[in-house]
Every structure is written in structure tokens, then in C-alpha cells.
Chains A and B, each alone.
Chain A
Amino acid sequence: MLKDVTLGQYFPGNSIFHKTDPRIKLLLTVAYIVAIFLAKSGAAYALLLLVSILITIMSGIRLSVILKGIKPLIFVVIITAIINVFWYSPPEGTEPLFSFWKINIYLGGLLTALYMAIRILCLILGTGVVLTYTTSPIALTDAIESLLSPLKLIKLPVHEFSMMMTIALRFIPTLIEETDKIMSAQKARGADFSSGGLIKRAKALLPVLVPLFISAFRRADELAVAMECRCYRGGKGRTKMTRRTLRPYDFILVIFFGAFIAGVVLINKYIPFYTV
């Protein structure tokens, strides 16, 4: 069912990642992604994997949830890895590891594939754990608004942008639930979404899409009225219910990630095993 998609969903909890200021988490996620792309040496990739697994454990998110989130992407990882094995063009004069028929497999190709798989896995784990699984959508958009607020000086509508995002995020689960409900209702009348060719399946979705759009428009209307009734007039002079200040664990996490990036850079330089 649609409901079972867990990637990008928020899971309440009590770990250090749940407590950290979302602005810090947003910045650390960027730093983490940079670290992933800095890695070159085999040892650096090992560190990446290690840290990713460590933070996953620290976040206290259940393994089954994480595996469910990763599952749909495994296919992508495998395809990318396979393509990398075959598309690798080695420097002149490299002996292939082994070859059959017309295909040569090089050590470099295998390594590239392995590193690519590790990168994607770490990206999923890291961004999922540090950001989406442990940050509520409201906190996330709040953080984005706060980080982008300097752009207000050049008259960019930062608040409106973040409000739009909040609303969009807020309505994703509602729309998923609604889709499920409408699909069930049409299934009760014998609709069949899972057999037939592509065109037949697309046609079968019509009885779901029409009511879904109608209700989405209705909701948008109602929401606009409700916001106006509560005197929403855009971002000017608007205050926040929660003011965030930095606390000790924010700094702990910053130091941890700082050490992590430094580690990757140093390892690249001093332990360049199996660098591709």
C-alpha cells in the first residue's frame, strides 16, 4: 500500500538527532554529503560506512523501518553498480582482472562499483537519519526559513516559500490517506488497478484521480479561508511560537561531524589504499 512508503517520513523519538536544532542538522547534512563526495581512498569509504552505521544506530530508528526505506532503492544501487563495472575505462596498459568473451573486468571497475554503492547507501542512511526520519516537517521548514532569512534583504519571499513548503509537506500524508480511501472505495465497486497493460492501468486510475483532484482543490479552498479567518497576512511581523537556541548537544554533533570530515580528508591523503 501507499502508506508503507517510509522514506522521508518522520519517526518521533528521543535520540540526540531528534533533539538537535534542525538548522544545525540541515547544515550538517550538507557537510555530510560533501564528505561523501570527498572520499577517494578505500579506507575513507570504510570510514564513511562505519560512521553511517554508527549514526543510524545512534538515532534509535528501528532497523525494520530503515530496511523498508532502503528496499525500493536497492534496485537503483545494483543497476548503478553493474553499469559502473562495465563502463569503466582503465588507464592504458592495465591488465584486466579476468575477461570472458569480449568483456574485460578490471579491478578499478569493481572498486568504482563498490564505492558507488557505498556512496548511495551512505546518502540514504545519512540524510534519512540525520534529517528526514528525525526531523518533523514543521521543524524542517522552520529551519529552512531561518537559514534563508538573509535573502529577505534582497526582497526574496522567504517566508512565503517556507509556508508553501510547510503546507505541501503537511498535506502529503493527508493526500496519501485520501488516495488509499478512494482506491478502496473504487475497489469495492470492482475497480482493478493491478492487471492489464499500461494503458488499461492508466485508465483505471481515472476514477481515483478525479475525486482526488476535486478534494485537493476543496481542501486548498478551505485552508485558505481558515488561514484568513485567523488573520494570516503573510510573513511581515509574524512571530514564532518556539524560539530555538543552540544547546550543548548541538555542539557535540557539530564537533563529531567536523572530526568526520577531517578524518575523510586526512585518510585520503595519508592512507590512499585502493584509490580510484
Chain B
Amino acid sequence: MTAAELRNVFYTYSKGTPFESAAVTDVSAVFESGMITGIIGHTGSGKSTVAQLINGLLPVSSGEVFVCGKNIWEDPKKMRQVRFTAGLVFQYPEYQLFDETVYKDISFGPKNMGLSEKEIDERVRDAARDVGLDDALLEKSPFELSGGQKRRAAIAGVLAMRPQVLILDEPAAGLDPRGRREVLGNITAYRNKTGAAIIMISHSMEDIAEYCDKIVVMSDSKVLLSGTPEEVFSHADELVKTGLTVPQVTKVLCGLKAMGYDVDTSAYTVDKAEKEILRLFGGEKKC
């Protein structure tokens, strides 16, 4: 089911001043429930802008944005409702923590939704569990947490609103490999539990390849490619031309192909590439 959709969306920053810059030009994309859609692109390609267009933080210059089947700009008075449905976790969300305790900070969103005390309590504890935060940490000040824990607390603040569309802007940026895996694993678990549509912005081809069901590639404020990982990574040349890369293993396969072997270069995870190489050399897995 389509959970969110952009149709021919344009957005220009600082319109009408000398600093005018077109950040999004003619972008159309569909985001499905129960799927993780990755948005990838070089620095300044408009990914964060797209994220803010989906939940109505930025007004479209032209085009339409649909969340759960409704055009969000039809009735701007209901925009708060849209923000609860389409939860957005900003880049470096730990800088938005403000309350005395982690618990209170996570409850900020649910409180704004006007829920009952009991419901809020349940949601806060649920969200904290979803991101792997200990109950003991809930009563601490958010400023006493480590960087990774702060990140989790901030993500929990959005999860507690139980959004049907969850947008994450670089959720794993600046975390160590283990922190990355855990946070991205938590996000996948949330998808499995709730069937929400997840939109994940990332710089890392490896992360995108491993966790996403669909990929949208942005370049110079436009959508360059979109589709399943196989489809996208089979256009390795185009990706490289715009300054992006393909996952390491896809590079290996491309190298093999360039050497004249007949391999399918669309494998993008280590497992799939291993199978492909084993098929090619007719061997069996030894260890």
C-alpha cells in the first residue's frame, strides 16, 4: 500500500532573494507501507529537503505531497496531524533534546498529540524498548547520556508518536559500526512490528544495500534512479559518474565482468555476491 507519495514536487530556498537555490526539482517518488525505502545522493543533492517536504515542514513550491492518501496541503490547518502520521527524525537529532529527563523528552511528542497519561507512559516505555534504551536511563538527564544513547533517545521521541510513515535523515551518521548496526536493526524491527513505511536517508551504500527494499537515488536535486536494489545497482556506471559508489562487493563483481567473466553484477550484499562467485567458479562453500 502506498503510504506517502511525491508528485512532481519542486522546492526553492530563499525564493526572491540573491541567495535563491533550487533544492528539489520535479521529484516524484512512492513510499510503500512495510518497506524500507532508502534515499541516497551526494552532499547537497536535496535529500534532507525531500524529508522535510514529506511531513509538510517545508511548503512545496509546486507539486503535490500525499501522506496516507491525503494531499497534505489541501488543509494546512491539519498539518500537525500530518506530522504525527509522518514522523521525521532530523540529521543529528541529539541536538534537539531539551527536557529534564529522557522520559520527559520522549513524551514530548505523545503529549502534543493530547493522549492520556496512561497511553503516554505505555508509548514512552515501548519506544525506549524499541531503540534499546534501558529503563534505568529514562530517569537520567538526556545530557548525561553518551552520543549513541542520545541518538537513540531522540529517535525514540519520534517513535513514541507511532508514525505510519517514519522518515530518518542519516540515522546512523557518526556512530561506530556496532552502534550503526544496532540502530538500523532497531529501525528494521520497528518496521516488522508496525508495518510502517520507512524512509531512510543515508550516505552509505553498504547500509542502504543491506537494509532497504527500494532505493531512490538523488543527484543535483533530481531523482536519478529508483527501484529495487538490483535495478539500481545494475546501473553502476551512472552511479559512479555522479560521484556515488556501489557496494564494495558489487565493485568486485564489476571487476570480474570487466575481466571477461560472465557474472551477474546486480548482487549487492556479501551473501548474494558469494553465491554468484561460487556459481561462477562452480565451487562449493568450504567453511
Q: List residues of A whose CB falls within 8 A of some B CB.
A: 3-4, 6, 11-12, 62, 64-65, 68, 181-182, 184-192, 206-208, 210-211, 214-215
Contacts and interface: CB of A to CB of B under 8 A. Distances in A.
Contact of A65 (B18, B52, B99): B18
B18 A215 contact: no
Contacts of A182: 95-96
Contact of A190 (B90, B95, B96, B112): B112
Interface residues on B, range: 20 to 34
Nearest to B80: A190
A192 B80 contact: yes
B84 A190 contact: yes
Contacts of B80: 190, 192
Contact of B83 (A12, A64, A187, A206): A187
A210 B98 contact: yes
Contacts of A3: 14
A190 B98 contact: no
A188 B158 contact: yes
B56 to A, nearest CB: 9
B76 to A, nearest CB: 12
Nearest to A65: B17
Contacts of B112: 189-192
Nearest to B143: A214
A181 B96 CA distance: 9
Contacts of B18: 11-12, 62, 65
Contacts of A187: 57, 83
B219 interface: no
B90 A189 contact: no
Contacts of B98: 206-208, 210-211
B87 A188 contact: yes
A73 to B, nearest CB: 18
Contacts of B90: 181, 184-185, 188
Given A3-B14, A64-B16, A190 B113 contact: yes
